Chains A and B, each alone.
Chain A
Amino acid sequence: MQEKKIICTVCPIGCTIAVKGEGGKILSIEGHTCKRGEEYSANEFLHPVRILTSTVRLKGSDMPLMPVRSNKPLPRESLFDCMEEIKKTEAKVPVRCMDVIIKDILGTGIDIVATGNAE
């Protein structure tokens, strides 16, 4: 059996939630004070995900960089591999917010999109 202490980030209270589980199944959740906290801690226990934000080099603009993000949260363990892909990438003007910069990064089904605008 595995036990993890998870600090909830759903709201500023920041409950410390103890989750016990085994083989991808949750056995118990303790310490949460709301439904959203229960859901959050279960997800954090089973498969933590994070929005990844970074920048890519931008060609044809005074701005050297274009800020980017993953359009959905990525598996936490894939973030460094995704960063390697992002480092290799260049964007060219014009770029509009939400333009896809890297489609389906590392086969995750998640896109890296622009968060800024450049003419």
Chain B
Amino acid sequence: MHNIQCDVAIIGGGPAGLAAAVSAKKQGAQKVLIIERDTALGGILQQCIHPGFGLTYYNEELTGPEYYGRFIKQAESLGIESLLDTMVLEVQPTGKIICVNSKYGITYVDAKSVVLAMGCRERTRANIQIPGTRPAGIYTAGAAQRLINRQNEMVGREIVILGSGDIGMIMARRLTLEGAHVVAVVEIMNYLAGLTRNRVQCLDDYDIPLLLSHTVTRIVGNERVEGVYVAQVDENKRPIGETEEFYPCDTLLLSVGLIPENELSRATDIEISAVTNGPVVNQFMQTSNPAVFACGNVVHVNDLVDNVTLESEIAGREAARYAMGSFPQVKRRISLETGNNVRYLCPHLLDIADMDEQITLYFRVLAPEHNVTITAKSGDAVLYKKKAVKVNPGEMEHVTFKTSEIPASSDCVRVDVTKEV
């Protein structure tokens, strides 16, 4: 049996884990260890060869490999260690991690603090229960992306994509450039799920039709996909039978949402939010277990890696402080309330210590809206107020304020997005 001692152990070597590791080390943690199940660091960015990363964090446009490459460079020069090709089996409440790899077998990692950075995974056909046969040629968009961009395997020639999430749209462009024909991108909602810039640069540029308020009702084919039936949906998202049409194709890609990967978190008995499906965290990205921190898509699904980096830097820094015994003493807890048109807030709560902190709360709206005012209020105090021309569930919003602005008499901050009249 192999034993490793460290100050901060980070589970997952994608963009969240890398940023947390660099930040923990810079904060002064002696031994920082990343545990990663893949054979290389970088996570999903290894297959995200398209540009669009780093626009806010680096103020320049990078591809996925360039973005994580910068963090790997830093991690190497700071002496951050990593355990690759290693699967974590269990995180114990005490911070002990049980993992396994083919070199050491069962390995125990004893860490003073742990950062959960496992990311998320794609929803599959089973999650959304599309009727029909079970032929070859049905992929999640991310699986197809890995096959094409890392493994040099083409997935098909005539493609229908269900879901207008960013990965789906990016794959529509990628497949078109590689010589496939994308028949249509089908979206059940009456608005785009992903970013507008991806609609412009991935669909409109290549005249790929976007069918809003439509869904795939049936998959046809025995050995291989032969086509799918697509129908318009009513306001309750139920298919309208008479609008059903057959689309011949050999491949169906699914870009129908992401689920934070929290099997480890659940087993370690930390509190999980029913809305985000990730750990409940305070502004230090600390979970209900004080020694366990979490960041990135394992907490809530982000649309920009830049935001993942920012919150992961907080998680790494605070996990380092916890490991070194310099974590702030919490004086009172402030609950965060989702008001009008706010689906969730992340962090989920604030633990106020004896210092004035700048807080950023990230959130998504429930429905698209134009000309709104975004406010954060606590008691009678208005902590944040800003007008926005457009809000969309596909694009994360935020409010910022200082903890000193929260009135002493109040124990709650509420965020609302209201339509201007």
Chain A residues with a Cβ under 8 A of chain B = 7, 9, 12-15, 33, 50-55, 57, 63-65, 67-69, 76, 79-80, 83, 97, 115-117
Would you call A51 and B195 a contact (CB within 8 A)? no
* CB interface residues, B 196-213, toward A, < 8 Å: 196-197, 199-201, 204-205
Known: A7-B200, A64-B151. A12 touches B195 (CB 8 A): yes
State A13–B389 Cα separation when bound (angstroms): 7
Would you call A83 and B177 a contact (CB within 8 A)? yes
5 further interface pairs, Cβ-Cβ under 8 Å (given A13-B388, A50-B205) = A67-B49, A67-B65, A83-B178, A97-B65, A97-B69
Q: How far is the CB of A62 from chain B (nearest CB, A)?
A: 8
- For chain B, the bracket of interface size reads 20 to 34
Q: How far is the CB of A91 from chain B (nearest CB, A)?
A: 13
* CB interface residues, B 314-332, toward A, < 8 Å: none
B369 at the interface (CB under 8 A from A): no
B351 at the interface (CB under 8 A from A): no
Known: A13-B390, A33-B389, A65-B149. A51 touches B51 (CB 8 A): yes
State A68–B66 Cα separation when bound (angstroms): 10
Would you call B177 and A79 a contact (CB within 8 A)? yes
Within 8 Å CB of A63, what residues of B?
Answer: 150
Within 8 Å CB of B61, what residues of A?
Answer: 51
State A5–B201 Cα separation when bound (angstroms): 14
Task: Name the residue among B61, B177, B201, B205 with the largest chain A CB count within 10 angstroms.
Answer: B177
Q: Residue of A at shortest CB range from B149?
A: A55
Q: Pick the contact of B201 from A50, A69, A115 — CB < 8 Å?
A: A50
State A52–B205 Cα separation when bound (angstroms): 13
B129 at the interface (CB under 8 A from A): no
Would you call B151 and A53 a contact (CB within 8 A)? no
Within 8 Å CB of A55, what residues of B?
Answer: 49, 148-149, 152
| 24 pairs of residues in contact across A and B, judged by CB atoms under 8 Å | A7-B196, A7-B204, A12-B195, A12-B196, A14-B390, A33-B389, A50-B205, A51-B51, A53-B51, A53-B63, A55-B49, A55-B148, A57-B152, A63-B150, A64-B151, A65-B150, A65-B151, A67-B49, A67-B65, A67-B149, A69-B51, A69-B63, A115-B69, A116-B65
- Residues 44-72 of chain B: 1 if any A CB is under 8 Å from the residue's CB, otherwise 0? 00000111000000000101111001000
Within 8 Å CB of A33, what residues of B?
Answer: 389
Known: A51-B61, A55-B49. A115 touches B66 (CB 8 A): yes
Within 8 Å CB of B195, what residues of A?
Answer: 12
B244 at the interface (CB under 8 A from A): no
Within 8 Å CB of B395, what residues of A?
Answer: 12
State A67–B148 Cα separation when bound (angstroms): 11
Known: A7-B196, A9-B196, A13-B389. A67 touches B63 (CB 8 A): yes
State A52–B148 Cα separation when bound (angstroms): 16
Within 8 Å CB of B177, what residues of A?
Answer: 52, 54, 79-80, 83
Within 8 Å CB of A83, what residues of B?
Answer: 177-178
Within 8 Å CB of B150, what residues of A?
Answer: 63-65
Q: How far is the CB of A64 from chain B (nearest CB, A)?
A: 4
Would you call B50 and A53 a contact (CB within 8 A)? yes
State A14–B199 Cα separation when bound (angstroms): 11
State A31–B66 Cα separation when bound (angstroms): 35
Q: Residue of B at shortest CB range from A65?
A: B152
Would you call B205 and A76 a contact (CB within 8 A)? yes
Q: Residue of A at shortest CB range from B177?
A: A83
State A68–B65 Cα separation when bound (angstroms): 9
State A15–B388 Cα separation when bound (angstroms): 12
State A14–B150 Cα separation when bound (angstroms): 32
State A69–B150 Cα separation when bound (angstroms): 15
Within 8 Å CB of B64, what residues of A?
Answer: 67
- Residues 90-130 of chain B: 1 if any A CB is under 8 Å from the residue's CB, otherwise 0? 00000000000000000000000000000000000000000
Would you call B201 and A9 a contact (CB within 8 A)? yes
Within 8 Å CB of A97, what residues of B?
Answer: 65-66, 69
Q: How far is the CB of A34 from chain B (nearest CB, A)?
A: 11
State A12–B149 Cα separation when bound (angstroms): 27
Would you call B197 and A9 a contact (CB within 8 A)? yes
Q: How far is the CB of B147 from chain A (nearest CB, A)?
A: 11
Within 8 Å CB of A80, what residues of B?
Answer: 177
Q: How far is the CB of B144 from chain A (nearest CB, A)?
A: 14
Q: How far is the CB of A44 from chain B (nearest CB, A)?
A: 9
Q: How far is the CB of B80 from chain A (nearest CB, A)?
A: 17
Q: Residue of B at shortest CB range from A9?
A: B197
Q: How far is the CB of A53 from chain B (nearest CB, A)?
A: 5
* CB interface residues, B 220-248, toward A, < 8 Å: none
Q: How far is the CB of B39 from chain A (nearest CB, A)?
A: 8
State A57–B150 Cα separation when bound (angstroms): 10
Would you call A53 and B152 a contact (CB within 8 A)? no
Within 8 Å CB of B148, what residues of A?
Answer: 55
Q: Residue of B at shortest CB range from A50?
A: B201
